[in-house]
Amino acid sequence: MTVLAAVAVPHPPLIFPEVGKGKEKEIQKTIDSYRQAMQFADSFAPDTIILISPHMRWYADYFHVASRAETTDNFAQFGAPQVKITASADESFIAALNTACQAHDFPCGVLGEQERDIDHGSFIPLRFLNEIKKDYKVVRIAISGLSVLYHYKLGQILNEVSAKLNRRSIIIASGDWSHKLLDDGPYGFAAEGPEFDKKVQEIFKTADFLSLLKMKSEFCEAAGECGHRPFVIMAGAFDSRAIKSKLRSYEGPFGVGYGVATFAAGDADEKRNFGEQYREWKQQEVDRQVATEDEFVRFARYCIENFVLTGKPAARPQHLPTALTSERAGVFVSLKMHGQLRGCIGTIAPVYADIAEEIAHNAISACSQDPRFMPVRPDELADLAYSVDVLKPAEPIASAEELNVKKYGVIVESGGKRGLLLPDIEGVDTVEQQIAIARQKGGINPSEKVQLHRFEVVRHH
């Protein structure tokens, strides 16, 4: 048997009367739909429940699978110790999953077990399931910081393992939608919140999982959701299969979106090979981005992609633009992924023969030697955004009044210590912030006197 069906459910603690103390009545549609979804799941007579939770301990580069044979827990963390469940692990499925991931060289398994408790993202759906079904085993899996394709691939592997074991499996994808629907909600309001929830409603009504994959991480983060990655894993389990989907309810009275949906797998449908379709779409996106890059950024990309893929510096092209070969300057190469910094290394003054060589060395360092980050992986290359800052000579200044965070970068020096911050950095809005960050980068205490320098850059991105 393959994975037969799935349910997508939220996990608000107040959904239990013991916690909500009456407030749960405001999401009665969610409660009713939750029970319908668990009856739907039970109708497939599952042997194994594969539960994906965003609130298990998760890792940047690894999918953790809970491996304890049996766990009994209560809801004491939410003031309801009388609410209890016991979860029994499907140890044979977990062992087979571990083997399959090793065969695929896929970063998923039982390493990293650190918590004895059942997280609330698992606890809540299991308690609803336990109202109607007891005779099942569970496989609890965390999300990761890896790319959306890794999450989708994990779903494909879960389906593969289920088929190999001839196991009747159901996926429970546990996840709340946006947490930013109302000004007076627990996380405030963001325009992306209602937009995210509207998109997911349409996706769940139509089972358009390609649109789920295409949702940008920056957008999901701005919406304050916690369900996107569990939903993507679920979607991967149905790659190249027809799906009958039903959005059973949606509401968000407390400023957090709660949606309940069910999915039943049908026959093979090669038109729904969304993993491959997404790869093709992503490559087209990269090609369009590369077409707009100038020679500075294009050369930095060339150096990084070659190094990440081969482990060796790229051969210098014979005919580089004169803008890269006719001058010397300090250069910073910065990498971002999904709007977040992924690496930044540079030189304040020129060290190498020309700007091209400066870019080459700093680009490789930015992707592999920035101590704040792990080295860039090949699967991350398509998601990287590059910028190259060519520094003009720095000049000493008498005081912070001569700085402008948008126009000038700053260098702070004290004794043999020195810290630098580039200009026009997102989130750095004042000179005081700029100097404080530069001090921190240089290991200079706030009480130490410093000499200030300012510099301008030519930014290429």
Average pLDDT for 158-179: 97
Q: Is residue 301 pLDDT above 90, yes or no?
A: yes
CATH homologous superfamily for 392-461?
Hypothetical protein ph0010; domain 2 (3.30.1490.150)
pLDDT at 272 over 80: yes
Output the pLDDT for position 71: 86
6-23 per-position pLDDT tens digit: 999 999 999 999 999 999
CATH 3.20.20.80 is held by the domain 293-390: no
Q: Output the pLDDT for position 461.
A: 86
Q: Would you say residue 260 has pLDDT above 80?
A: yes
* DSSP 8-state symbol, 2: -
CB atoms within 10 A of CB 283: 11
What residues pair up with 419 in beta bridges, in sequence order? 412
Domain ranges of the chain: 3-278, 293-390, 392-461
Nearest-angstrom CA–CA distance, 118 and 136 = 17
pLDDT at 309 over 80: yes
Q: pLDDT value at position 427?
A: 85
What DSSP assignment string belongs to 128-139?
A: HHHTT--S-EEE
Q: What is the pLDDT of residue 364?
A: 97
Distance of CA 30 to the CA centre of its chain: 27
Instruction: Say what the pLDDT of residue 49 is.
Output: 97
E strand residue ranges, 182-313: 241-251, 258-268
The tokens describing 373, both together, are: 């980050």
pLDDT over 80 (residue 395): yes
Kindly state the DSSP code that residue 41 receives in the 8-state scheme.
Answer: H
- Domain 3-278 part of CATH 3.40.830.10: yes
Residue-wise pLDDT tens digits, 210-240: 999 999 998 999 999 999 999 999 999 999 9
* Res. 116: pLDDT tops 80: no
- How much is the pLDDT for 135? 86
pLDDT tens string 66-94: 998 888 888 988 999 999 998 899 999 99
Question: What average pLDDT does the structure give for the chain?
Answer: 94
* pLDDT recorded at residue 113: 77
Count of helices and strands (H, E) across the chain: 14, 18
Mean pLDDT to the nearest integer, 423-428 = 90
